[in-house]
Structure 1
Amino acid sequence: MSESPAAVSLVTAPPTDTPSRPLAAQRVQPLRRPGRWIATAVVLVLAAQFVHGLVTNPFYQWDRFGYWFLRPTILDGLLITLEVTAWSAVLGLLGGIVFALARLSGSPVLRAVSWTYVWALRSVPLIVVLLFLYNFSALYQTLSIGVPFGPAFVRFDESRLATDMAIAVVGLSLHESAYAAEVVRGGILSVDQGQHEAAAALGLPKGYQFRRIVFPQALRSITPNYVNQLINLIKSSSLVFYVSLLDLFGTAQSMGSTYPGDIVPLLLVVTVWYLILTSVVSVIQFYVERYYARGATRTLPPTPLQRLRAGLTDVRDRIRREAAV
């Protein structure tokens, strides 16, 4: 039986698109993106001009910057900034937990008081809070502990208690606790409702449920957000200069009044120190987020060192493939 012409044609006709080179030697041409290259070139030129201006402009006085950067008076102000930030961060977080639990409480009075506190402190600028506390002795010269609307057992002189450090810490803590309350409340609400129901089904006390089941899971959402809030707290600490506390910014302002020709170098010193502090907090934030991402993601985000190694490995493999071709 003879084959049909169509069958013969399909079997004997050679393919017309046979590659001239072996398949292994062929390379896929990447998609050309001229817009990306143009944008990259523009950004590099602008960055180079900015760096060139920083280095060559004599107005910045980099020699005076080096003189002031590690001066003892600047370092003393830096220590005060760190101390105020540390105390405010801890007290602000504790206050935020209290107000968040009050917002989630079944008591309408606690919910109303907590909501009012958060609303008021987030609405009033921090500088107003600090100045109000700084002049608090004009309203209440003494503070007392005793029976409400009755006799007082212990009395305190407000002017002695309200030191510059105490005013700064209390003001920043009050302001920070309002924001921390919302961060903590959001973290608690992010816990799956089934966790609450399972804990209640086991007959666990409410306090035990919160400490051992709900709050540890809420930390996955609370901690990264609150560490991010610390960056704003570090920058907000510069306002304590207005309550006569010589922190990093206040020290630079004081030295600028004494040495008016060094105002710009002193501002650069303050800028660089704040960049260092916020960068350290940002690194901590990255590792905290990476730690609490365990169990929530299939693979943890790579660290900067791992990214560098992966980039070097990719470049090396690319060079080897180019050499093999």
Structure 2
Amino acid sequence: MTAPIISLKDIDVTFTPKGKTIHAVQDVSIDVQKGDIYGIVGYSGAGKSTLVRTVNLLQEPTSGSVTINGETFFSKTNDGAATKIKGKELKEKRRKIGMIFQHFNLLNERTVEENVLFALENNKEKEKIKKEKVAELLELVDLSDRAKQYPSQLSGGQKQRVAIARALANDPEILISDEATSALDPKTTRQILDLLKKLNKQYGLTVLLITHEMEAVKAIADKVAVMQNGRVLEKGSTLDIFTKPQAELTKEFIATATNQDQAIQAITDSETVKNLPAGQTFAELKYTGNSTNEPLITSLYEQFGVVANILYGNIEVLQGTEVGSLLVILSSEKDNLDDALAFLASQNVTVNILKGAQA
């Protein structure tokens, strides 16, 4: 495997306001490969924004190391020995790391065109070439017809597109999206995420997606890290995290993102499940990949005489792999439910008994 484009090692960030010590980030290590869309998810106060600001040293770590494209931006050991880039060199390096934010940060007194051009103020190219580049960027984000308008004349989604165009002005290799969709409605959020995915695929742009919305991670991220109280609880491919979550917080995020928690609650409260007869089992079946192509429900009946009454079903595709879930009531006249459950396990189906036998 090639060296990561972003490597954060043993990052600690500590603040001491009024003598009180706050550990905003604690011992976090993350590697991001070139071309990844890497999601960092957590609730407010988890430390994710503080962590990502160490990438371009907008936030200097208390200890740890930051390496970008194989070059050490910052390194500091617990004994205080430190090395870091600074001054003009740091300023130049930051140009290759674009950032977009929740509140857009546009200049209200400047037009859309001028907002994007602002990012090129220190560029030594001729004005004509700069303006040509701005026009190309506005076309890329589908805002060519808004070039002469002001931010007050734009919708939230359009403002974020301007911010994206501005962040791309210096041809960055990395784009940091810090809660960039949090202030947008669901439809606009999807459009912005689709744009980030397009930029990733079309230009090989590496994206760090900072969010408290697991839906955003599910939609476009290749890999994900889950943070809480300044620490990374778990990390891995989006497929692995969604299908094999370990931490309770991760499970909570996933249940919300898939609406599974709402479905389980609604069906659990139904009369069908409340009055579940003896001999019947209310269960959740989860499956990935090839197991979705197997006639599992038919096999349960033909091989074991177990009838599966499907109450809810959902299937989606994560990283090209089908991931599905079913809420079912399993019933059988024979005492062979254990054999049926063992069969499901052999087919890589995870069974979670919610009520009834073995619950």
Is the structural similarity TM-score above 0.5? no
Q: Where is the strand percentage greater, Structure 1 or Structure 2?
A: 2
Question: Which of 1 and 2 has greater Rg?
Answer: 1
Q: Where is the helix percentage greater, Structure 1 or Structure 2?
A: 1
TM-score (norm 2): 0.22
Structure of higher RCO (CA pairs closer than 8 Å, 6+ residues apart): 1
TM-score (norm 1): 0.23
